[in-house]
Amino acid sequence: MSKLVQPHGGGSLKPLLLPEIERREELKRAATLKKVPMTSRETSDVIMLAMGAYTPLDGFMGKADWHGVCAEMKMTSGLFWPIPITLSAAQNLADSIKEEEEVALVDAETGEIMAIMEVAEKYTIDRDFENQHVYRTTDKAHPGVQKVNSQEAVNLAGRVRCLSEGEYPEKYKGLYFRPAESRAMFAEKGWSKVAAFQTRNPMHRSHEHLAKIAVEVCDGVFIHQVLGKLKEGDIPAETRTKAIDAMIQHYFVPGTVIQAGYPIEMRYAGPREALIHALIRQNFGCSHLIVGRDHAGVGDYYGPFDAQHIFDTLWSGALETQALKIDITFYCKKCYGMATAKTCPHGKEDQVNISGTKQREMLSKGEPIPPEFSRPEVVAILQDYYRSLNK
């Protein structure tokens, strides 16, 4: 009997990727169907459905579920879900598709057929309604709002049968684990209390401190990084993985951390995204999600602790995985180490505040990174990457 948290919805994991033998036959059939091109975000959502990370969803949401998720973070079934998972199509293509017709879902960037969907519903949405509820803004400069506003005119809903996980299993071998696989790893290690650390950046000293606090109170930490498309200026996954690996090797007790990645594309939805990150980690078997300052935020759209506070607004039973809430961390020159406002009595003049944005700025300008900011083994890898850009 597993001691890990149950998959979301209380049942079993629900991966939608067909067995390999069925996939070969269905791919032949899919080639004869109408093609619906997908954006990178929609493609990443198909892969999340394929691996079971979006358990218990069986496809893309209809209008009633879309509205309920936006307005109340709740599907018509009563299931907690904080961000809509939708698929859009151009008006002329949508008009040509009949309800109950099967269509092939195609990655627009690679041309690969990713899934077959039986279209149950076609509908239009109020983009401002979604943006205001999910992103708390309709500002066109917000990257999540931009994605919603650039969607095609009509949403298609229906059950999905997945035929591919794209390049991820091969490209990120040793890093790409499905929820069933991470659960098996945790069970093998005897872990029942696992904290997930979400990151799209290489880990600096503040991130390291957060993870080490989690190691103290849990059986282990699952450093779970974004492998999907990022915004311009973010450090790519290949470099980030090397940097995180160097940090784990030199500064963590062996056997306390697992580094992995998953194919989600960031939405930069701040508090709402913290909730879906926790929901997804519940499917991966994690009892906690580390939530520090400005989780999944961008710019100044959200307060530094909004992503922590939103967990307190959930109803009983909405989500099994809990937030491990940790204060803003910094290096204190008088404490000679990492600290938070709860553990350090000294003033701001003694604090070195650390951020991924500031680190990227220093690296891009070729400025030295102080050891209070990031580990030298990590810095060396990042400096090599930035030197390659300058070349």
What positions carry a catalytic annotation?
A: 200-201
Distance CA 80, CA 3 (A): 22
For residue 1, count other CB atoms closer than 10 A to its CB. 2
For residue 21, count other CB atoms closer than 10 A to its CB. 8
For residue 243, give the H/E element and its range.
helix 237-251
- The 8-class DSSP code of residue 33 comes to S
Q: What residue has token string 């109408």?
A: 34
Show Cβ contacts of residue 211 under 8 Å, excluding neighbours closer than 6 positions.
195, 197, 203, 221, 223, 252, 257, 290
* Radius of gyration over every alpha carbon of the chain, rounded to an integer in angstroms: 21
Show Cβ contacts of residue 274 under 8 Å, excluding neighbours closer than 6 positions.
289, 291, 295, 296, 307, 308, 310, 311, 323
Distance CA 338, CA 356 (A): 16
Assigned token pair, 286: 């994690």
Assigned token pair, 261: 């990645």
Task: Give ∠ CA 261-320-356 in degrees, rounded to 5.
Answer: 40
Query: CA separation (Å) from 34 to 31, 101, 323, 382?
Result: 8, 9, 43, 44
Task: Give ∠ CA 243-232-48 in degrees, rounded to 5.
Answer: 75
For residue 38, give the H/E element and its range.
strand 34-38
Q: For the stretch 326-340, what's the b/e string if a residue is b when 16 or more beta carbons lie within 10 angstroms of its beta carbon?
A: bbbbbbbeeeeebbb
Distance CA 211, CA 375 (A): 15
Coil, strand or helix at 171? helix
Assigned token pair, 327: 């204060």
Distance CA 4, CA 282 (A): 9
